[in-house]
Every structure is written in C-alpha cells, then in structure tokens.
Structure 1
Amino acid sequence: MLQKINILTLLIISLSLSACDFFKFKSDTEEDTGDQIVALVGNQKLKRSELRFLTFQGNNEQDSASIAKQYIQSWVKKQLMIKEAGKSMAFDEAELNRKLLDYRYALMVYEFEKSFVESNSVGEIKAEEINAYYDAHKENFNLKEIIVRTNYFKLEKSSSQNRNLERLLNSKGENTSDLRQIALNHASNYYIEDSTWVRFDEIIVGTPLSENNNKVQLLRNNKLIKVEDDTYTYYFKILEYKLQDQIPPVEFVRDEISAILRNKKRLELVEKLQKDIYNRAEENNEFKIYE
C-alpha cells in the first residue's frame, strides 16, 4: 500500500492545493483582517499567511523572495487553469469533492503508516537473507552493462616502474603489497580492489580504452590490457568479468537486494498494522458489515 500511495504523493499534493483553492475550504474561525493579499485571480485570493509553509531557512533574503515569487506564479497559473476549466467543461462538484476527500484521506493514511514504519525499525538485513533472496531470484538481475574485477594503474610512460609493474601483473604469485607500493609511489591514478566488482565503463573513463568499440572481444582475449596515449601507460589486469545479459555475482547486487528486503519488511509492518487495527476494531464492535 505504501508503494501505491507513494506514487500518488506528488499528484495528491498538487490536487490538494488546487482543489482547496477551488472549493475554498475555510474554518469559521479564520479571520481575514490583517492578512495581506499577495495575488488575486477572479474571486480567489492568495494571502501572505498561506506562504508560511515555504521553507526559507538557510536562504538569504533574495533567495527567499525568489522562492515566494515562484510559488505565487505557480498559484496564479493553477487558478487560471481552474477558471478556464470551469468555463470550458461542466464539473460535478460533489464528485470532485469526493475525489478530493479520497486523496486527502489516502495522504493521511500514508503519513500515518510512514510514521509507524519509521518508529519501528526493520533492523539490519543479514547476509544470509541477501544470499537466500539472490539464490531464489538471481534470474531477475540480468546485467545491462559489463562489470569486472580488476586492478588498474596509470603510470607516466617515462616511469622506471613500467617494466616492473607489467612483470608483476603478468605473474601468478601473490604480489598485492608490491603492486600497492608501486601504486602509492609511482602511479598517477590506480584502483586496487580485486574483490570488488565495478562497471567497466566507469573504470576506463578518461583512458584510451574508453574509445574501443569492441570491449567484449578485448576482455575475452586479454587478461592484461595495456594502452597508451602521448603521456601515460594504462594497465588493466582483468581478474574476472561478466557481460551484458549475464547474471551478476551477489556482491554486485548486494545493496539492491538489501533495499528490496528492507522495503519488503516495511510493507510487512504496514500489513501487520492494518491487521491489528482491524482486529481491535472488530473485537470492540467498532464496525458492522451488512450482508
């Protein structure tokens, strides 16, 4: 339910503002005296007090005036549209009122459910939960781009460490500390995260490799990719890769799955809230359903 209402939130707010202006809901105790009118469209008035909800905190006087001016312009445009619609079409005011109340109550329920979820933490999503969800739904996570595990180095072509670096990258032994030493002391840029999956297009941006139009073939044929420009030599030690439309490893979609499970727990909280309220009302005979 949260998902459905969340989609309508912007529409609700817009309709609520417009409809409230159209039907002019107003309490008997509201006073007109001393409240400056800042805009007028036909019989509809926008008063200074109605701008109080605008957030000016942290803005200077010029910014605050600009925000107020934008809101007033928006209000005038909406009133003109409402006025034009009223002249061009016949509206059932009772039906419009019903829809407005439906939207208003939907927003009230949404805010109530949101407050309840925020005050009842869903807790940390455990690794076992993520892995179980991944195993059951991995086919839904087909890649839209190439991802890789790689070590990347950018060295000046004149660097004395180019040959040593290439030797280390081609070797099969454990040499992480040696690579890190070269990276820290000689590389203009580097990336040593051999357990982390990254988007290939992100790691090669700003290098001659970004202009290569056959990256799939390049990855299939090379464990070490070496490219140059006028100043630098770029090294990409490809440890593993996944192509488009393949299933990504769980590490790459861990955050996405965590968000899915967190939202699922939020929905379960809302469903429990609705059920508890219903059961309590039923026990207290607060409603009756006629056959």
Structure 2
Amino acid sequence: MNFKGTLLIVILIFALSCKNKSVVEEKPLARVHNKFLYKSEMKSLFNSTISKEDSIVVARNYINDWIKKQLLVQKAELNLNEESKDIEKQIEDYRSSLLIFKYKQELIKQKLDTVITSEEIENYYNEYSGNFILNFNIVKALYLKISKEAPGIDKIKRWYKSTDAEDLSRLEDYCYQYATKYDDFNNSWIPFNNLLIEIPTNIGDQERYLKYNTYIETEDDLYYYFVKINEFSLKSTIQPLEYAKSKIKSILLNKRKFTFLEELENSVYNDALNHNEFVIY
C-alpha cells in the first residue's frame, strides 16, 4: 500500500475513533528511533469542513515535519557538548518572560485607559514641536485626471479653481461621471512627491513652486491633469498639528503604557514586601 493510501486509512480511523471512545490501544503513525507519533497528536489538524484530499496533504506534511524535527533533535543531542545542551535555564527564562508578557498585555487590555484627548495632543505638540520637523514637502490638494475625450473641459478649468459651493458640486457630479481620477485625499496632508508621481510634470524647486503657484495643469497624449494646492507645508519646517497628531497619539499612548507597567511592577513588589513574600539575604 502506498503512502497516500496509508494516510487515508489513518484519517478514516481517526474520524471513527472520534465517534467511538472505546478504542483501547492507540497505534503509532510514525517512529524515529524511540520516539513515536500518535494520531491523537494530530487531532487539532482536522475539522468537519476539510476535504479528504486536503486531509491527506495536511497529514503527510505534519508527519514529515515531525520526522525531520525528531531527526534534527537527535543529531543535536549527539553532536552538541553538555554545556551547549544545558538549556533548562534558557527555557525557564523564556517561559517566565512569555508569561509576564502575556500577563502585562492582558492587564493593559483590561485596565489601561487608551483614550488620548485633543487637549493632551495639543499640549504635547506645543511643548515638543521642535521634534516634529518635516523631512519633505506636504500638501492638501485636489487632483483630477480626465480623458481628452471627455466633454466640457473648459468648465472643469473654471470649476476646480472655484470656491463657490455650487461650482464644486457641479465639479463633483461631472467627475463621478467622466473623471478617471478624482481625489481630495480626504482633505488630509500628503507628501507632495506622492502627488507629483501621478502627473506628467517636472518640478525642480518644489519649495519655490509651492510658494508661488496654486494650480498645476498639464497633459499627455490621453489625459488632462489638474491639481489645486489648498494648503502646503515645507520641508524643514514644523509639521502641522493635524499631520503630527497620529504620531503624538502613539507617543502618548506608549508613555502611558510604560508608566502603567512601571507602576504595576512597583505595586507587585511592594505588596509582596508588605506580606513578607520574599527575603533578600
């Protein structure tokens, strides 16, 4: 019987054994020297939705991986010196660190106040604004890409520059119907370079251009491109609060976590000290 057939029998036996709890003796599926793999160890691999073919693949991969692991462990046992094999302390240290980490994460989830107010963000920004310097130019912009076959381009040139609500409404209706791209980036700050990638133009001195130009109009063989720069902030200047907000929120939350965990450790220590749970010799 080939390996695939053997695996299929194993899986069928396993399925039957789940329904019949009276199986007395469990036969191994594989052996490496004195180590055995039993079907009960593979219980979590299968569920009611997995197909017969997939079950065969999963079982084969698991058995092969188990064999390779046992062979490597035995090679390591044979070839490493006693000092190298003395890993009990490392295992205990890892277990302790993992338990502590999980405990701390659970307490953070249960007890840490993760709400950062706008006032906290603004206060931090005002105190440490020098830490938030732009490394590149950013803009708030409106970007249009419209096929040269679309009608009414002259109207677009007027509407996208307008501040009149009715003109902007007409522009939006038009773009939903004809524009290949129409994006105001949710009125968020974006790197100017990201915008320039979208349009066929070459702007050498970005800072000078942004200072003296509000619009970009260009074209290629297929499309017209229109950009309206609503706001800009230049490289090497302080980031706008709105742009720095998410980073500040992350900083404040991490500070709050650090303080929470530090207080937790001190509390555990002091509580144990008060109850004579440890002795320092």
Deviation at 1:43, TM superposition (A): 3.3
Q: Which residue is equivalent to 1:175?
A: 164
Superposed, which structure 2 residues align to 1:127-138 within 5 Å? 127-138=118-129
Given that residues 180 and 192 in structure 1 are in contact (C-alpha distance below 8 angstroms), is that contact kept between their aligned partners in structure 2?
Answer: no
Tell me the amino acid that sits aligned with residue 200 of structure 2. P
Deviation at 1:54, TM superposition (A): 5.8
Given that residues 137 and 192 in structure 2 are in contact (C-alpha distance below 8 angstroms), is that contact kept between their aligned partners in structure 1?
Answer: yes
CA distance 1:118–1:56, change in 2 (3 Å):
farther
Moved more, 95-104 or 197-206: 197-206
Q: Does 1:99 align with 2:90?
A: yes
Match of 1:199 among 174, 191, 194: 191
Given that residues 77 and 85 in structure 2 are in contact (C-alpha distance below 8 angstroms), is that contact kept between their aligned partners in structure 1?
Answer: no
Deviation at 1:150, TM superposition (A): 0.6
Q: Does 1:208 align with 2:197?
A: no
CA distance 1:195–1:96, change in 2 (3 Å):
same
Match of 1:275 among 266, 273, 277: 266
TM-score with structure 1 setting the length: 0.70
SS in 2 for 1:253: helix
SS in 1 for 2:82: coil
* Whole-angstrom distance in 2 between the partners of 1:152 and 1:241: 14
Identity rate of aligned residues, in percent?
A: 30
CA distance 1:242–1:87, change in 2 (3 Å):
farther
Q: CA RMSD for the aligned pairs?
A: 3.5
Deviation at 1:118, TM superposition (A): 0.9
Superposed, which structure 2 residues align to 1:83-232 within 5 Å? 83-92=74-83, 95-170=86-161, 174-186=163-175, 187-188=178-179, 189-192=181-184, 195-203=187-195, 206-209=198-201, 212=202, 214=204, 216=206, 219=210, 222-232=213-223
Moved more, 277-286 or 155-164: 155-164
| C-alpha distance after superposition, 1:73-108 (max 9, x if no partner) | 544444443333333321337841011011001111
CA distance 1:181–1:34, change in 2 (3 Å):
farther
SS in 2 for 1:81: helix
Deviation at 1:133, TM superposition (A): 2.5
* Whole-angstrom distance in 2 between the partners of 1:67 and 1:144: 50
CA distance 1:116–1:51, change in 2 (3 Å):
farther
Q: How many corresponding residue pairs?
A: 254
Deviation at 1:39, TM superposition (A): 4.6
CA distance 1:58–1:245, change in 2 (3 Å):
farther
* Whole-angstrom distance in 1 between the partners of 2:56 and 2:235: 50
| C-alpha distance after superposition, 1:217-274 (max 9, x if no partner) | 6545532111212332111111233455554322123223222322322222222222
Structure 2 unpaired stretches of 5+: 1-23
Deviation at 1:70, TM superposition (A): 4.9
TM-score with structure 2 setting the length: 0.72
Q: Which residue is equivalent to 2:7?
A: none
SS in 2 for 1:208: coil
* Whole-angstrom distance in 2 between the partners of 1:261 and 1:190: 36
Structure 1 unpaired stretches of 5+: 1-32
CA distance 1:147–1:49, change in 2 (3 Å):
farther
CA distance 1:105–1:169, change in 2 (3 Å):
same
* Whole-angstrom distance in 1 between the partners of 2:143 and 2:189: 13
SS in 1 for 2:258: helix
Question: Which has the larger Rg?
Answer: 2
